[in-house]
């Protein structure tokens, strides 16, 4: 391990010590199942949305969770919002936010290089494998690799920098997230064993925390860090066949996916349905989905994205 990295890791370890009025065209309203009455106050029947999501869940053979959180405190919706699901690589969004936060505090510059060796590489490290035993990578580049390419070694190096899995969990607690927890590193955290609470979140917790990190003007990240994190999410294409595939084509979508064992596929997206308007965050988690293969799981998440699109259009 290089001296530069040791010094930086030591510094990082210390740092870790109400109802909405709804209008819409009849076709969309019928699709979602509106109650009768005055069109200005008609609301979509929650059970229709639940039925559509329940049907997708049944098709998968597993368990589906969804949460839609809107900026400004507007009411969203969800399905199994408060049940625990394996995070898999969606934790990398939170990890990158933590690194940006520590850099804001002056713990290290994002342009500081970290040196690492080939024996530290773990499976699926398409970016970091090119720089081992060489010039290393900057903290910024590691964050980009972890979020945009889901590089596992990059995530592990960044975890060490900020105090390990426990360090990330502690920070999330101080940020107000009482449900999300990280216990292991890549790739072990992807085991997704049913009933195992390690490395889990809830759809609501992930969506709320992500929305706050990405948009809250008085939150953990300053505007420059928020923009950087949003830019990384927008640059990622790992979710092109998941939620965004089912959302309206004119929506602006950035996201962080996760995949694991036991039929697990996840997607957390920041979404701008209208350019210039406040975004929303959509988190979808699918696990135990063994009736379908990887493509089938992608298709189910795309259909979840379609449900979200229908819901949003109707509420406008």
Kindly name the residue from 60, 67, 89, 103 that is annotated as catalytic.
89
Residue 33 neighbours by CB under 8 Å, 6+ apart: 44, 45, 47, 48, 49
Alpha-carbon distance 31 to 72, whole Å?
A: 27
- Cα angle at 231 between 108 and 229, to 5 degrees? 40
**Is 186 an active-site residue?**
yes
Catalytically annotated residue among 81, 107, 186, 220: 186
Check residue 154 and report its DSSP letter: H
Task: State the DSSP string of 69-104.
Answer: EEGGG---EEESTTS-EE-GGGHHHHHHHHHHHHHH
DSSP strands (E only) in the chain: 63-70, 77-79, 85-86, 113-114, 137-138, 200-201, 252-260, 264-272, 280-287
Phi, psi of 68 (to 5 degrees): -115, 120
DSSP class of residue 192 equals -
> Residues with Cβ < 8 Å from 236, sequence gap 6 or more?
147, 148, 149, 150, 254, 255, 256, 257
Enumerate the active-site residues. 89, 186
């Amino acid at each position: 391990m290089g001296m530069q990295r040791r010094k930086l890791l030591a510094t990082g370890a210390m740092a870790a010590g109400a109802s909405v009025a709804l209008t819409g065209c009849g076709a969309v309203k019928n699709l979602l199942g509106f109650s009768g009455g005055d069109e200005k106050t008609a609301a979509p029947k929650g059970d229709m949305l639940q039925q559509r999501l329940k049907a997708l869940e049944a098709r998968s053979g597993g368990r589906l969770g969804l949460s839609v959180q809107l900026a400004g405190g507007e009411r969203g919706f969800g399905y199994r919002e408060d049940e625990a699901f394996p995070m898999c690589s969606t934790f990398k969004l939170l990890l990158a936010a933590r690194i940006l936060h520590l850099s804001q505090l002056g713990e290290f510059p994002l342009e500081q290089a970290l040196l690492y060796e080939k024996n530290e590489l773990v499976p699926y490290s398409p970016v970091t494998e090119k720089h081992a035993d060489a010039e290393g990578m900057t903290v910024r580049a590691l964050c980009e690799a972890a979020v945009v390419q889901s590089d596992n070694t990059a995530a592990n190096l960044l975890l060490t920098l900020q105090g390990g899995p426990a360090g990330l969990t502690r920070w999330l607690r101080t940020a107000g997230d009482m449900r999300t927890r990280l216990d292991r590193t890549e790739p072990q955290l992807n085991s997704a064993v049913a009933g195992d609470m390690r490395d889990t979140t809830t759809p609501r917790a992930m969506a709320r925390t992500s929305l706050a990190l990405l948009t809250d003007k008085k939150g953990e990240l300053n505007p420059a860090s928020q923009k950087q994190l949003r830019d990384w999410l927008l640059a990622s294409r790992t979710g092109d066949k998941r939620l965004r595939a089912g959302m309206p084509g004119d929506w602006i979508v950035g996201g962080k996916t996760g995949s694991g064992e036991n039929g697990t596929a996840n997607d957390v997206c920041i979404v701008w349905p209208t350019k210039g308007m406040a975004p929303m965050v959509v988190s979808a988690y699918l696990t135990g989905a063994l009736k379908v293969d990887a493509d089938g799981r992608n298709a189910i998440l795309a259909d979840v994205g379609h449900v979200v699109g229908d819901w949003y259009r109707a509420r406008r």
